[in-house]
Structure 1
């Protein structure tokens, strides 16, 4: 039982492999009723295949797909009680906005009066009032995506699947439509499963993120959990902008967790946890390469000096305007409690334990200093 509600969609041991490679293997996931679940991962990780298996557009080699407590593994897409919003919008170019929205209702022979009522509600919900007579070619990308959303709304299904629906929009439109989708989902109480490779969409929209890799689930949980406690080196490097800095533990001036040899560990630090200071013994020496002032924050790009990671780039995320001169020699430090530890060979996270007492110079966060 999820905090959002009981599981509405379940995949149990589902496998679908393709002759040329790719697919999913022994995949088991649960999607809570009324929630917004995002399938996140790089290209080829299996997220779109998972969506197609739920939709009935792919048939599993083995395993079971359930929707609303029903086994739908062998059912056609039309019998599964769901809507799909595609990346390409899939609008009929020769039909008007209104005709595109109610097309499915006509096919299902929904009475004219009910079609009109549902159409009016969908146009109002998606901000398309006054555009019903236009053809898709007369609309902006954001408006076309709203037509696709309106078509999903009028279908009145409890489950909506979305396959990278914003990838054809520019950054400003993506942000606006993202908020529209989330607001509509909450207002209508739909269960949404949303596929994206964009972690900004995932972190900003989801109640639950399912991070996938090579056809399997790498980590599953609330967006904050994936960011604050990544379960693996892959999760640490994929979730977060910029990605987490990962260093051999032997290079880090901190003792490893009890019972672990430094040679077998990797230490991770988020960009916002890094502090810059004047060169100092016992800290990581680095050279400033460049800075990016972004208004509320500055990204500082640094190159580590010496040791096994000579030449590795590190990105520090500093508040406000903080632009050290390129070529400046600095030291990097951070609060030891902000360190994430991972097993080098397996890539899995080392269970968190209280950090041991350290000398004051190492235990205190390094104060930012002029460099």
Structure 2
């Protein structure tokens, strides 16, 4: 990836009469990268994509593509293609005509159009389907037509707005693998909007997690999962989500030393929680139910003095609903956050207790 950002949003603000939009947004996107804009409904991810596309104009700030200021430029001047959730295909045109429609409008010669069409159909697995109408295709095939249309445009930047949301779960998985493989093969820079964290974690080089129009955390997927910058990031990334527990619910001996309890909350990933005999760990809990999923079991727990949580255990777990247990974790597992600001707190070694958890034992 280039050190110089290929797409840059600098202090961009766009607000609407009804609220929403983005506020003082700064994002750098490297050339050839796959960047995912992720977040809950109303967080500003689609607005951000529309700002990059030129479909919205910022109230303040600057947008650059390829080192060029495009803040006031129209969509056709930005050198990009788009793939939409709705496919946006012409129903009366066949696949081939849909794919090359933009090239025809731009006056590209027939020989060049045919060459690009053949390449795009081959890349997207649509060979032999060029004479079919969109109504004769499956949802996955229609999405591939939209991808082929983006490929023939031969633009270095492709924007994708929740392109898989109309597909069923199995098809979404296969098509997202195809999109990622195509992006790598073609070297395109892709900016991809989704509310699905599984898509984001599986596809992205960089995730930009948005909340209320601001960047909550921007970085590689592993960083957001393993070192979340805020409590919101911790609770949004991961399935099951990280459980956040007020420090006041923990016995004093299991808390970091030299820390004000009222200012802390503890974050635990489901896979880091261990079950042990009652009275052996820092949290007492009751098993509510469990789900055996083959390779792992989710155990749902009601916790004394704390929010309910889920433990993800390997293989099959035979503990019964209603059984009392204690919960523990290794000293390296906890994530600590400031309760007021939600920001991550990094504790020095002398602030953490080596006795945060008793040695687990079978129940």
Q: Does 1:21 align with 2:14?
A: no
| 1:82-93 equivalent positions in 2, closer than 5 A | 82-93=80-91
Change (3 A) 1:357 1:55: closer
Checking the alignment, whether the CA contact within 8 Å between 2:53 and 2:75 is kept in structure 1 is: yes
Task: Give me the whole-angstrom Cα distance separating, in 1, the residues matched to 2:207 and 2:359.
Answer: 31
SS of the aligned residue for 1:94 comes to coil
Task: Give me the whole-angstrom Cα distance separating, in 2, the residues matched to 1:350 and 1:7.
Answer: 30
Checking the alignment, whether the CA contact within 8 Å between 1:84 and 1:161 is kept in structure 2 is: yes
Checking the alignment, whether the CA contact within 8 Å between 1:336 and 1:355 is kept in structure 2 is: no
Cα deviation, residue 251, structure 1: 1.7
Q: Which residue of 1 aligns with 2:7?
A: 9
- Cα shift readout 1:62-99 (whole Å, capped 9, x = no counterpart): 11110000001111101100000001010111110110
SS of the aligned residue for 2:112 comes to helix
- Cα shift readout 1:199-234 (whole Å, capped 9, x = no counterpart): 000000000000000000000000000000111111
Change (3 A) 1:131 1:234: same
Q: Which residue of 1 aligns with 2:77?
A: 79
Checking the alignment, whether the CA contact within 8 Å between 1:292 and 1:300 is kept in structure 2 is: yes
2:239 is matched with which residue: 225, 238, 241? 241
Cα deviation, residue 6, structure 1: 2.6
SS of the aligned residue for 1:212 comes to strand
Cα deviation, residue 365, structure 1: 5.0
Q: Which residue of 2 aligns with 1:146?
A: 144
TM-score normalised by L of structure 2:
0.96
Comparing 338-347 and 247-256, the one that deviates more: 247-256
2:154 is matched with which residue: 145, 156, 159? 156
Checking the alignment, whether the CA contact within 8 Å between 2:281 and 2:358 is kept in structure 1 is: no
Q: Which residue of 1 aligns with 2:164?
A: 166
- Cα shift readout 1:319-342 (whole Å, capped 9, x = no counterpart): 111142111111111112100000
Task: Give me the whole-angstrom Cα distance separating, in 2, the residues matched to 1:285 and 1:258.
Answer: 22
Q: Does 1:260 align with 2:254?
A: no
Q: Does 1:289 align with 2:284?
A: no
Task: Give me the whole-angstrom Cα distance separating, in 2, the residues matched to 1:135 and 1:192.
Answer: 28
Change (3 A) 1:260 1:103: same
TM-score normalised by L of structure 1:
0.94
Q: Which residues of structure 2 form unaligned runs of 5+? A: none
Q: Which residue of 2 aligns with 1:340?
A: 335
Give the CA RMSD over aligned residues: 1.5
Q: Does 1:269 align with 2:268?
A: yes
Task: Give me the whole-angstrom Cα distance separating, in 2, the residues matched to 1:324 and 1:9.
Answer: 52
Checking the alignment, whether the CA contact within 8 Å between 2:281 and 2:327 is kept in structure 1 is: no
Change (3 A) 1:365 1:119: farther
Task: Give me the whole-angstrom Cα distance separating, in 2, the residues matched to 1:184 and 1:30.
Answer: 22
When the two structures are aligned, how many residues end up with a matched partner?
A: 362
Checking the alignment, whether the CA contact within 8 Å between 1:45 and 1:214 is kept in structure 2 is: yes
